[in-house]
Amino acid sequence: MAGVRTVGVEEELLLVDPATGRLRARAGAVLRAEATRDATREDGDKGGPGGELVAELKQEQVETDTRPCAGAEELGAEIRRWRAGAAAAAARAGVRVAALATSPVPVDPTTTPQPRYEQMAVDYGLTAEEQLTCGCHVHVAVDSPDEAVGVLDRIRPWLPPLQAVTANSPFWQGRDTGYASYRSQVWDRWPTAGPAELFGDAAGYEAAVEQLLATGALLDRHMLYLDARPAEEHPTVEVRVADVCLEADDAVLHALLVRGLVETEARAWAAGASPPPVRTETLRLARWRAGRSGLGGDLVHPVTGRPAPVGDVLDALLAHVADTLADSGDTEVVADLLAAARARGGGAGRQRAALARTGDLAGVVLDAVGRTTPQ
């Protein structure tokens, strides 16, 4: 699709026992199973550029990484392919995968035995010890570092609605938290998590990064856990605000909205439009509101900064990216996917409905296994 920015998706998935729904520290066995499968495949398909199954901070999770995609149909197929591949590798290791942003059942997570992760456990104490959360990170291609920062400066007020759309973590350590996305609360314990100030240009971003690193509070640049950032290894903007989505369709919806936002703000930057002068404190409150309410209550309107019904906020989001969605051919698919997500209350709504139906948090996990990779 000529002229359309490519988009890729990273998804973190929990590893669970297929009988009990309890989490299992089996990431090493899952990755060995995947490596064995790759080594014996006749077609030689190991995911291609930008695609792999990797370890994460905790042994109870793995991460997928799709190829860059142009079309919505291609992206959906790629997300489902990687979910199915992760599920197959997990099954060979005696576990299943569940697209849940936090564990509904109690868990004492196990740090992955890698030097960097072990150092994080030492430096960040209980924050690192309890940090078993699963996010969805979307990468959208950009043409230059200055364009990337121009997008970052202008995308800021539109990220909380994306968090609301993807909210998929109402439970934590065996209880309902009252939040649609409790992952957002846990994630914000990291010192650099959340929204950022305006950077101005690539040089301004690098100067800010150097100031942060100079504090000694971070291990390295990879710990810049901002809601959105220029990717370190790829020429992309990486949006990190979302929970991992229970439904593959919701992951597609989120990625297409992110691409629409990146293209919209890249055009605004190129035209010389000033970024919205929204205070970072206001953005933090908007993110908190999005995590608390999800699709089930008022949000902070990105333009007015005042409370507004979720429908009004989502309508404003669609209006903001209408031109770029039309240019990429995504208008109808985004409208349909967003309507479906709202009808089922997003991932948080699905999880709470599963609890009401099964009466058991383990039942929520097992229900999620089926929705992660439906047959």
- What secondary structure letter does DSSP report for 221? G
Q: Is the pLDDT of residue 344 over 80?
A: yes
Q: What is the pLDDT of residues 236-275, one digit of tens each?
A: 999 999 999 999 999 999 999 999 999 999 999 999 999 9
3-state SS assignment for residue 111: strand
Sorting pLDDT into bands at 50, 70 and 90, what band is 36?
confident
Token pair 């990064």 is found at 209
Query: Which pLDDT score is estimated for 368?
Result: 98
The answer to which of 43-52, 120-129, 289-298 has the lowest mean pLDDT is 43-52
Whether 365 and 17 have beta carbons less than 8 Å apart is answered as no
The two three-digit tokens of residue 65, written as one number: 């990484």
Query: Which pLDDT score is estimated for 45?
Result: 47
- Alpha helices (H) along 274-309: 280-293
Whether 263 and 5 have beta carbons less than 8 Å apart is answered as yes
The two three-digit tokens of residue 291, written as one number: 């995590």
Query: Which pLDDT score is estimated for 50?
Result: 53
CA distance 11 to 46: 17
Whether 76 and 248 have beta carbons less than 8 Å apart is answered as yes
Domain range 7-372, CATH architecture = 2-Layer Sandwich (3.30)
CA distance 375 to 363: 18
Please report, to the nearest 10 degrees, the dihedral formed by the alpha carbons of residues 89, 95, 99, 102 taken in order.
-140
H-run or E-run covering 242 = strand 236-243
Whether 208 and 128 have beta carbons less than 8 Å apart is answered as no
Q: What is the pTM of this model?
A: 0.95
H-run or E-run covering 176 = strand 175-176
